[in-house]
Structure 1
Amino acid sequence: MKPASAFKIVFIVALVAAAGGGFFYQYERAPESSPVSRGAHLATTAGCFACHGLGAEDPRTNYRLGSNDAWRSRGIDPIWEEGLLEADEVIEWITHGVPERRRERHQQLLLRMPAYGDDGHLSPREINDIAAWSLAEAVRRSHRPARFEPLPDVAAVAALSDDDLIRRGDALARDSGCYQCHGELGQGAVSNLASFKGYIPGFQGDDFLALTADGDREEVRYWIEHGRGRALESGPLGGLASRYLDQQAIPMPAYADIFDDVETEILVSYLLLLNRMGPLDAQGVEALAITLISDSE
């Protein structure tokens, strides 16, 4: 083979390898989202906070026409109205601007809720995303987990029903700050500068599986105890993974000295259950909220 031909072959192989590597890199960095995380963004772009504010601490004013044809000042309820945990009702508000049974009173308001679905401003999926986020916010702002008697040993964790595991796992995750970084109910949406994807992954999707060797229990446990991934850093791209873990603005803390063996087992099982449940839509958040709220009833 002539040297020029050999050079061309090497050049082509190198070019293909570089292109393939670039494609793989971009594929791996493709962002992942959940209905809750998408809903948080949509609530801003749709202007929800302009009328509803950021909660009870950020009140907004409206006027209602009274029976004597006089306008009276009144407040606007927050998006995550306490006690409003029914997905269909939230979706009805966003889609039609008001549930039909409340339309007559709504007409007496000076500022009226837009009908984002009827007017074609938002698709059904986008409406469900906003509903999922608002329901998750309602849980975050109003749910106070019950206190549970400690389990006797690790074996007792495996005997828990899914509902009991959800209640105990949520209480532990909430009290330990897991949701502060991984999003309410582990649904993501927290930015993290200089990290591989620019955000802290939730527990609900493929990011979690990629970081935990496809949901391996011992790998999930290692992350919780050490704040890093053993399989991730020992793999073929371990050096790159370590660099991103070292440089990211918000590192994962190590809980080895915080949790005992039973608490760690509860959290491992809970995170794996959340991942099996997948990204929660509005109906999924509602179902989980009902399970959580029943722990104090």
Structure 2
Amino acid sequence: MTTFVATTKPLPSALKVGLSRTRLEVKQFFREKEQLIFTFFFPIIFLGIFSAVFSSSDFFDGKVTAATYFTPGMIASGIFLTSFQSLAITIAMERDEALLKRLRGTPMSPQSYFIGKIGLVLVTSIAQFALLLVIAGLFLGVDLPTAPAKWLNFLWIFLLGTASGSVLGIAYSVLPKSGKSASAVVTPVVLVLQFISGVYFVYNALPEWMRTIAEFFPLKWLAQGMRSVFLPDGFEVNEVSGSWQLGTGAIVLTAWLVVGLVLCQRFLRWTRDDSV
């Protein structure tokens, strides 16, 4: 008599499923031309515009060109677009389309879903940053840093900025009532933060009350941190505080990361409020 023993193949780990989800998210992202152009090329286009408009002007008594000064802000803006804005809009749309509800009915864990989203942010942010640097260096005359210490600073600023922007985007995705309203709810917030955080203007030239508001939000510290990497040595004397304040920036970005995680845990919804 033959005895058959049933065996159960263990499910793949959350990380493995999340990495597979990342590949799917990246493919979907590059298929969406509108999202690709707005999120991926928006900072690059604006850098080119500002460099052309201010091509005959030097900033801070000729110490840097317009392209050099605005490059750090555009890098920070790009990180914020690919993390906060992109996730806040796409997750709201996926909830409205009941995609999140269907995913909850599969063996894929919520951790794998968010690994896929954060993996998408990392891939697109790195690609966007690399392309922006190529254009800035080859066509706009921006001198890239060579000191290893500056690139180490860039690494932790980039990772901390990406992480905080991602969790805040996930948390903010609960506010849009529908997928159609997501852009209208998210985009104005991003634009306001860009204007008051030293992305589109010289930060020192902004009114004091704007700078005070900006100091509470992560984009200001992300942009200032990037200026510490890409602007010349000693340029920190031109900051409002007279220094790069990297320690303060790290504290603020970390605080927003923790706040975002708490908000995600407390308020994240997988279905619409009116769904059955």
TM-score, normalised to structure 1, is 0.24
Higher relative contact order, chain-length normalized (CA < 8 Å, sep 6+): 2
TM-score, normalised to structure 2, is 0.25
